[in-house]
Amino acid sequence: MPHRVVDLFRSSAHSLEIQVSSLTKKSASGATRRRYSPDRAAKGSRSSERTSSSVLILEDDLDGVPAPPYTPHARMEGSRASSFSLDSHKEHGSSHHHHHKISFPGVHFGRSSKDSHSSSPATLDWELESPPLVMYGDPETSSGALLSGQLFLNIKEEGLEIDSLYATLSIHVTQKKPFANHCAECTNQRTELKRWDLLQHPLAMAKGEHSFPFSVLLDGHLPACMDSPLVAISYEFKAEALPRRGTPLAPIRVEKVLDVRRSLPTSETPHHSVRVFPPTNIKASAHYPHVIHPIGNYTLALRLDGIAKLNSKVNTVEYWKLKKLIWKLEETIKTVAPACGRHSPKLGQGVEEQHNKKGVLRTETRVIGEKTLFSGWKSNYSSPTDSMIELELDYSLAKHAKYACDSKSRDGTEVTHQLMVELVVAQEWAPMNKPSLVTHTGVGRILRMHFGTILTERGGIGISWDNEAPPIYQDVPPSPPAYSQETIFSAEHTIDEVVDSLDGYVHGSNLSRCSAEVAVDGHWGARFGGS
């Protein structure tokens, strides 16, 4: 097919060239009616070179010119094809303008605007009303994250019939090193977490915007979003509205990706770790934060003791001096690449063999931050017993490092981090009476230390959704005291006869009569200590 398309363009251009050459010979005498480009006149003798030119052709010139035969093997010799344009021309003695066009009925340059699809009669959109999806705590104790929002269906045509409207929330796991290469089912695993059927039956929708609320509680054991060299985890929200069957309207869809994170609690006091490196007497004491975040700098306080040793036999002192320090933040990713139905083991094999072939364990380690130091610590070699090295090591993630926070899910995916510190020390000795005469022994050691570190997102000022919820019925404190059991209402008494009014006036026939008599006799003041 490509060679036929090329021949079609060549034959069309060649036909135009033959028509122009014949018209030029026929109307050579009427040069006043034709305008030629000066480039064409200058280069007319060279048939191997062609340049673009503009020629004015009249309708009379096209009469009587036979159409050239189709030549499939015609070639264009020039680097450019000749372009022609028809312009309006006024004949001598005529007051009318004639407009002419050259059309190519067999050649289509792109798609016409009439062929473009019309706009959709409806659109779908959403709006989240819940806070950012953050799971607080580890997978065993976390209460999850609450997702709530509204789905908006905007109808542009009156009376549009919708057969069904539904939305789904699923978790999408992409294995970048799948069980079988080039297998889509081994690479992608989707698990539907929630489905909402927002329309129970077909309905003719009125023009305007219609809202449909949705909500779901993401369980605390679900993994957070990540993108690592082995596996990628994402949460996908999809909604689809299906117009009435039999109509040429396409389904209306909307797809969104949710960002789900996990925040682990941090401790206020740093961790303390002590390491001993036999056969030497070096002891390392480190204080470091156990939980770190992707953004921020953190400090590890390290102290080395036992770096000096007294050799009483030869009356010398042996020292270990720190020459170089290297720190690295390492991330280890473990995942199980499952096998799809086609690549799963056969039924005739053993049960243990089937269990082993259900998935392949993948492991990879990458460095997300590192640095080498040759100075920045304090050393004290005053005496063999008080010699020590102290330093404060600042570490953080690299500026543009790709990372994944610590997580552990039920499908076997696990992400862990650790801080690795390497100390290169060299041994020297000096006489007891002349400690300045230092001699290198040529003995060196590499002291390696690994500190378990948890990398997690910052919790910010947010708290778990269950702590934000109002108290439930069982959590309500005791209510105010009830009415006294001695007060008995009967049909002949009303509430006004029992309950005191706000101004202290007590209702009732006997009480009100007594109060009135005391007021008349002027005894109100005597009752409260007055004259």
- pLDDT single digits (tens) 409-439: 888 899 999 999 999 999 998 888 777 788 8
Any domain includes 317: yes
Given 109, 143, 171, the domain boundary residue is 109
Amino acid at 2: P
Low-confidence winner among 164-178, 289-303, 473-487 (lowest mean pLDDT): 473-487
The verdict on residue 514 lying in a domain is: yes
Residues 186 and 306 in one domain: no
Q: Please report whether residue 511 resides in a domain.
A: yes
**DSSP track, 344-360:** SPPTTS-HHHHHHTTEE
Whether residue 251 has a cis bond before it, omega within 30° of 0: no
Q: Specify whether 198 is located in the same domain as 83.
A: no
Angle at Cα 345 formed by Cα 340 and Cα 347, nearest 5°? 120
Q: Which residue has the higher pLDDT, 58 or 154?
A: 154
Residues 101 and 228 in one domain: no
- Looking at the predicted structure, is the pLDDT value of residue 286 above 50? yes
Helix (H, G, I), strand (E, B) or coil at 377: coil
Task: Classify 522 in phi/psi space as left (phi over 0), alpha (psi -120 to 50) or beta.
Answer: left
Is 56 part of any domain?
Answer: yes
- DSSP assignments along 169-213, one per residue: EEEEEEESS-SSTT-HHHHEEEEEEEEEE--SS-EEEPSEEEEEE
Domain boundary, last residue among 455, 476, 501 = 455
Structure confidence at residue 487 (pLDDT)? 53
pLDDT of residue 124: 93
Same domain, 357 and 312: yes
SS3 assignment for 2-39: HHHHHHHHHHHHHHHHHHHHHHHHHCCCCHHHCCCCHH
Higher pLDDT, 278 or 522: 278
Q: What is the pLDDT of residues 51-108, one digit of tens each?
A: 333 334 444 443 444 444 444 444 444 444 444 334 444 444 444 444 454 545 444 4
Q: Which residue has the higher pLDDT, 131 or 30?
A: 131
Could you read off the pLDDT of 335-352 as tens digits, one per residue?
999 988 888 765 445 555
Last residue of some domain: 263, 279, 314? Answer: 263
CATH number of the domain where residue 135 is located: 2.60.40.640
Residue 520: which pLDDT band, with cuts at 50, 70 and 90?
Answer: very low
Q: Hey, which of 24-33, 118-127, 338-347 has the most confident mean pLDDT?
A: 118-127
φ, ψ for residue 165, nearest 5 deg = -140, 120
Domain check: are 488 and 519 in the same one? yes
Residue 470 lies in a domain: no
Helix (H) or strand (E) holding 481: none
Domain residues for 517?
Answer: 484-531
Contacting residues for 508 by C-beta, under 8 A, at least 6 apart: 497
Categorize the per-residue pLDDT at 29 as very low, low, confident or very high, splitting at 50, 70 and 90: very low
Q: What is the mean pLDDT of residues 295-315?
A: 89
pLDDT higher than threshold 70 for residue 178: yes
pLDDT in tens, 464-506: 877 776 666 676 667 666 666 555 555 555 556 555 555 555 4
Segment 221-275, tens digit of pLDDT: 999 999 999 999 999 999 999 988 877 888 999 999 999 999 998 888 889 999 9
- Residue 45 pLDDT > 90, yes or no? no
Half-sphere exposure of residue 3: CA atoms within 13 angstroms, side-chain side: 3
For residues 282 and 380, membership in a common domain is answered with yes
Residues 432, 289 share a domain: yes
Same domain, 169 and 29: no
Same domain, 278 and 253: no
Q: Are 211 and 125 in contact (CB under 8 A)?
A: no
Same domain, yes or no: 189 and 300: no
Residues 43 and 95 in one domain: yes
Q: Clarify whether residues 218 and 307 are in a common domain.
A: no
Q: Which residue has the tokens 């460095």?
A: 367
* Residue 198 vs residue 513, higher pLDDT: 198
Flag whether 442 is in a domain.
yes
The per-residue pLDDT for 523 is 44
The pLDDT of residue 82 is 41
What local confidence, expressed as pLDDT, does residue 149 receive? 94
State residue 25's pLDDT score.
53
Counted domains in the chain: 4
User: Mean pLDDT score of the chain, rounded to an integer?
Assistant: 75
Residue 383 domain-assigned (yes or no) = yes
The model's pLDDT over 203-236, given as tens digits with 9 standing for 90+, comes to 988 999 999 999 999 999 999 999 999 999 999 9
Confidence at residue 527, expressed as pLDDT on a 0 to 100 scale: 42
| Cβ(225)–Cβ(260) below 8 Å | yes
pLDDT tens per residue across span 397-410 = 999 999 999 999 88
Query: Which is more confident, 504 or 334?
Result: 334
CA neighbor of 403 nearest in space, from 293, 246, 524, 276: 293
Is the CB of residue 422 less than 8 Å from the CB of residue 448? yes
pLDDT of 333 > 90? The answer is yes
Mean pLDDT value of segment 118-135: 87
**Residue 467 lies inside a defined structural domain of this protein:** no
**pLDDT above 80 for 456:** yes
